[in-house]
Homo-oligomer: A and B are copies of this chain.
Amino acid sequence: MYMDTLLDLPQLRTFFTLAQSGSFTACAHRLHRTQSAVSHAMAKLEDLAGVPLLDRKSRELGLTEEGRRLYLACEQVFATLDAAAEDLKRHQTLARGRLRVGATVEFGSSILMKHMQPFLAANPELEIDFTLSQDLLSPLLRDDLDLIIDCQDHPLPTLKKASLFREIYVVACAPAFRKTHRLRVPADLSRGPVLSLDKAGAWWNRFLMAVPDHEQPQLDRIIAVNHIRAMIHAAVEGMGALLVPRYSVLGELERRDLVALFPAIRPTEDRFSIYQKKVKANHEKQKLLTRYLQSLSPAEFGS
Contact = CB atoms under 8 A, between A and B. Distances in A.
Interface of A: 1-10, 12-13, 31-32, 47-51, 65-66, 69-70, 73, 76-78, 80-85, 87-89, 91-93, 163-165, 287-288, 291, 294-298, 300
Given A1-B163, A50-B291, A294-B1, A81 B88 contact: no
Contacts of A81: 5, 7, 73, 77
A51 B291 contact: no
29 contacts: A1-B298, A1-B300, A2-B298, A3-B295, A4-B10, A4-B13, A5-B9, A5-B78, A5-B82, A5-B85, A6-B88, A6-B89, A7-B85, A8-B9, A9-B10, A47-B291, A49-B92, A50-B89, A50-B92, A50-B288, A51-B92, A51-B93, A69-B87, A70-B84, A73-B80, A73-B83, A77-B77, A77-B81, A80-B80
A296 B5 contact: no
A84 B50 contact: no
A70 B298 CA distance: 28
A1 B297 contact: yes
Contacts of A77: 76-77, 80-81
A87 B69 CA distance: 9
A168 B9 CA distance: 31
A295 B47 CA distance: 13
A10 B295 CA distance: 19
A13 B5 contact: yes
